[in-house]
Amino acid sequence: MRMVLFVLAAGMVIALSVWAYQENYRTQAMIGETERLQREIGESRARLAVLKAEWAYLNRPDRLRDLTEINYNDLQLLPLRPEQFGQVQQVTYPSTEAPITFENAVEVSSQDAKP
């Protein structure tokens, strides 16, 4: 009886060690994947910072003003003036009334249609 218990205990120890070994490798793989994703996120943030800097450089007011002057014959853009902008009070907001409902509406479905 003792021998059976020793064999059973040894089998459980071996099974648990195999399980722990596999979990260790899965954990290491996930850590590697996480580090790769963190690197990729960092690279993407760096690219985004460069793109934002380029966008700010290309949208400089003096550069845009020069472009409008150069291309005036083609685009006929005029400089912005303060009186061209509206007031906050002039902004119309969507109404809070109930939506329009239709009476005697006919439902159309192609569920039972024959080809």
Instruction: Note down pLDDT in tens along the chain; length 115 residues.
Output: 889 999 999 999 999 999 999 999 999 999 999 999 999 999 999 999 999 999 999 999 899 888 888 888 888 888 778 888 888 888 888 877 777 777 777 777 666 666 5
Q: What is the pLDDT at residue 48?
A: 97
> Rounded CA gap, 60 and 75, in Å?
19
Which of helix, strand or coil describes residue 70? helix
Listing DSSP states for 24-42 in one string gives: HHHHHHHHHHHHHHHHHHH
Contacts of 71 (CB under 8 A, 6+ apart): 77
